Structures are given as structure tokens and as C-alpha cells.
Amino acid sequence: MTDFPTDPGRRHWLRVGAGIAALSALPGAFAADTSPRTTVARVRSGRIGGSVEHGVHVFRGVPYGADTATRRWQPALQEAAWRGVRDAVDYGPSAPQRGSDGPGSEDCLRLNVWTPALRDGAKRPVLVYIHGGAFNTGSGSDPLYDGGALCRSGDVVVVTVNHRLNAFGYLHLRDLGDASFAHAGNVGQLDLVQALEWVRAHAAEFGGDAGNVTVFGQSGGGAKIATLMAMPATRGLFHRAWTMSGQQVTAAGPRAATQRAQIFLDALGIAPGDLERLRTLPMQALLDAQRARDPSRVEDSALYFGPVVDTMHLPRHPFWPDAPPQSSGIPMVIGNTRDETRAFLGNDPDNFTLSWDALPAKLRTQQFVDLDPAVVVTEYRRLYPEYTPSEVFFAATTAGRSWRGAVEELEVRAAQGRNTWAYQLDWYPRTNEGARLRAFHTLDIPLVFDNTGVAGAKTGNADDARAVAANMRDALLAFARSGDPNHAGMPAWAPYSMASRETMVFDTAPRLEHDPRGGERRLYQQAPFVQRGTQ
């Protein structure tokens, strides 16, 4: 997803004074006033000074690794120690990237922490959010990811994180260079491992429980989580997983990843045997070269970068041919929104005025699964005779390129046991924009964070939005506490099974459905599924 600019009102700092130690031990009860106060925590490399916001201790821009500029395509080193109290009030820089969060900085290994109290032995659940933006863009500093509301509602610790992205995090150079490039294709994932290790080491300092860590993430964040579940290095680092519109069934194989790396090198004019030049090129040059066209895309698209089955850090595909055995005991929630692709295909007005004659050609490039568009159109007209061509387009592209991966993951998880739950978000705000975009990709973010009143939340903050947010938030909090998302505010939510395909549909009134959109699911199972960009 595209992140919003940092709120400048957060850029405050009160000078550390003699009474700071007392402020750092505020009790778990929330303060009545909302004025920022100085608070200090001690981490492995020194002391950090944050603020108290609406009763929540907040630390932003905390380093969990060293500057990666001198460690391009290598695992990051631990951050350097500092003296005194380090300012932890402002968000740190985003990772190098093109787009609204760019250009970023290679000194990007930062995380942010929200907690009700410090060092009080309360052993609160810890929720670590991994941002979206595929593997290319984004940061943990979007206002929609502010963890304050979750802290106040659920007495939990919330962490968001930045890590290396795109070619800086996922450029597979192992087969083109020497041993120093052996880790290159997965250093973005290794950054996340390092962040989770930091969380484990510091959970108690922030009033959390290192033995109860939930990772949750949307879009690319969910895909990163799916990948982490198949990485041996993550064993014991997290204990529940909640993914939203983000799946990673297959990763890139070494051949495909090397092919993309070669295209990238060609765009830079770097000859074989001259890879060391990559380490000293300007950051912007590396960003610009990523505009090269991806070889696997039907439509014109920039190079894909993502995790690689490198036999070392990622020894298998995340969710193919089965769910990773190492994570079988980790409870998991897999969710999607009903109208995912309206988020990125709904920006073209022509997609809302399609004719039946024009529809097949549009589907051919946008549904991703290689199924005859004529077959798709015929079946959708049978399933939903009231749909217009444009409604078929948005429904089919959602089912064929977004939802299909969730079904694949749910099926292999169901084969492992009864600790996986499925949801679908059907609710959307009843506004003009809401009627156009409906339950689009990213709509569930402000709902689970209970941030419907935050600037940039497309949910609005009406009563129905707050009610849906309360249900989704409380499901996440219940899941973080116990590994089961059920709570008193909604119907019983049964785990997903192949027999009934139980799915919680979040709407104005939540309801449990069996195999929602079953006809669409059966239609797209006529074609094999391969994760987009991984071949």
C-alpha cells in the first residue's frame, strides 16, 4: 500500500531532565491528560527517550540494526551503541524506494513501539505489524499503523518495523557473484528476523511477553509473514500470525530470480565479474534501474523483487506443495477484502463502463491466473446474472489474482489441523467513494488498528465504521491473547475446514458463512496457481 506522510504534530521532544526515571515507570493505568511527556527505556545499545501520548509510551525510530549502506546485500550488523539518551520521538527513514515514501535511506533498520507501561512484569501480548507495499515500497510509519488505540483497548504492546525492500532487500546475486553475495536474495527477510530477535530481547523492558508474539500484516506484509513461516531462522520468534490480503504461496526460484538480477545489472551497465561496483553506486542509480520491465508480466510492469528459494534462508516455497511443517503449531488467521482490486483498478474510469465485448481483453491482462476469459465471463454471468461487465471485471480480477492465494493457503493449513481461521471483509462506507470502491484492498487496516478516525482512513468514522472496527480489533486482540479470534461481540468463529470452508464475514453485522463465493473458487481452480512474479 502507499503510506501517508508522517503527521508533523508528532515531531515533539521534551528535554530529558533529572526526574526522567520516575516518568519512565508510569503505571499501566492511562493518564487523564494528553500532553506529551518524556519517557525513557533501556535497550541493548543504550537509552532511548520517547513520549507519553494519551497514556501510551511511544518510542519511534529505534534502531534494531546498523546502517546497511556498507553492508549492501549482506545480513545487517547490530546497531552501534550510543551514549546518553537517544531521541526516539520521530519516525526513522523509510527504506530506499521509488514512490511517495522515497527515496528513503539505507540507514533504515528502525522500529516503533507503543506500550501501556514499562518494566512492570505484566507480560502483555506483543503485536508486530509488518507493512505492505508488496516487497517494493512502504514503511511502518503510516498514521494508520499508529498502535495507540490497540494499546488502550487491549493492554498490548504494538511494534511496527522498516526493513530493506526491492533490489536492496531481494536482489538474488548468489549465482552471479562471489560468496559475499550468498544472502542477497533474502536480506529483506533477514532484516525482519533481526527485528523479531530485537523484540524477543526487549519485550520485558516494554511490559511485553517474549513468549507471546503475534505478527500481523497487510498485503506485502502478509506475504512477508507467510514467507517467515517457512524460514528456519524464525523458529520461536513469533507464536501467532494474522495476514490481511497478503499471501505468498510460492517464492521466486533461483533461475527466475537470477534472470531478474541480470536484467537489473544490464540496466546499470554492469558487466559480469564487476559486481563489486554495485556496492558503491549511488542509491538513486539502484532505484532508477528498477524501472526495467519484468519479463513475466503480460502488462508493462517494473521488475519484480521478492523472497527467493535459496536453499539456505528459505529452503522451500512458503505454502507449496503444503503448509510449512515448522509453523503447523502456530495459529493463523488468513483474511481478504471482498473487492480487493478496486483499490488499484478502480482508478481508471474506463473500468466502470466496460462493455461485454471489451471485457475479455481486459481480463486477459488483469486476472493473472491463465484461464480463458470467455470461460470466466460465461460462468460469472451464470453465477451473478445481475452483474454488469464492470462488476464481473472487478469480481473476477479479485478472485483470480488476490483471493486465489488465500484459498491455496487456507486449504493446506486446513490439512494440517484446526488452528486456522478465514475472514472476508464485505463492509464498506456508504458514501459515493465507498459505493465505487466498496471493500477494497487496504480497507481493513484502519479497522483492525481501530484507527477509523485517523486522517487518511477511507472507512470514515461513522457509527457503522466504529462498530466493524470494534469487532475486527477485538478479534485481533483475542487472537493475540489466546491464539483464538473468538470474542463475545460476534458469532462463534469456527476454524477453516475443507468440509465447510468456514469464513467470518465482517459486515455491519458479522456472520459466519460456509464457502462464500464457492462458485468463483471452483471456477478458478480449473487453472494452476503460481504466485505472480515468481517465475
DSSP run (H or E) holding 150: helix 148-154
Confirm whether 441 is a catalytic residue.
yes
Q: Give me 47's grid cell.
A: 537509552
Q: What is the Cα–Cα distance from 494 to 418, expressed in whole angstroms?
A: 9
Q: What is the Cα–Cα distance from 527 to 369, expressed in whole angstroms?
A: 7
Q: What is the Cα–Cα distance from 95 to 137, expressed in whole angstroms?
A: 8
User: Which member of 139, 219, 390, 402 is catalytic?
Assistant: 219
Confirm whether 53 is a catalytic residue.
no
Other beta carbons within 10 angstroms of residue 492's beta carbon come to: 8
Q: Which amino acid is at 352?
A: F
Q: Which residue(s) pair with 332 in the sheet?
A: 241, 420
User: Which one-letter DSSP state was computed for residue 272?
Assistant: T
User: Which member of 313, 317, 441, 487 is catalytic?
Assistant: 441
Cα dihedral across residues 453, 458, 459, 462: positive or negative? positive
308-311: long-range contacts (C-beta < 8 A, 24 or more apart)? 308/170, 308/172, 308/185, 308/186, 308/251, 308/252, 308/253, 308/254, 308/257, 309/251, 309/252, 309/253, 309/254, 310/172, 310/174, 310/183, 310/185, 310/186, 310/254, 311/254
Cα dihedral across residues 403, 408, 409, 413: positive or negative? positive
Q: What is the Cα–Cα distance from 59 to 39, expressed in whole angstroms?
A: 9
Q: Give me 532's grid cell.
A: 505472480
Burial (CB < 10 A; 0-12, 13-18, 19+), residue 382, is exposed
Q: What is the Cα–Cα distance from 36 to 11, expressed in whole angstroms?
A: 11
C-beta separation of 217 from 448 below 8 A: no
Burial call 7-32: b when 16+ CB within 10 Å, e when fewer: eeebeeebebeeebeebbebeeebee
Confirm whether 219 is a catalytic residue.
yes
Other beta carbons within 10 angstroms of residue 312's beta carbon come to: 15
Q: Give me 508's grid cell.
A: 455491519
Helices vs strands, H then E, count in the chain: 16, 13
Instruction: Supply the residues annotated as catalytic.
Output: 219, 340, 441
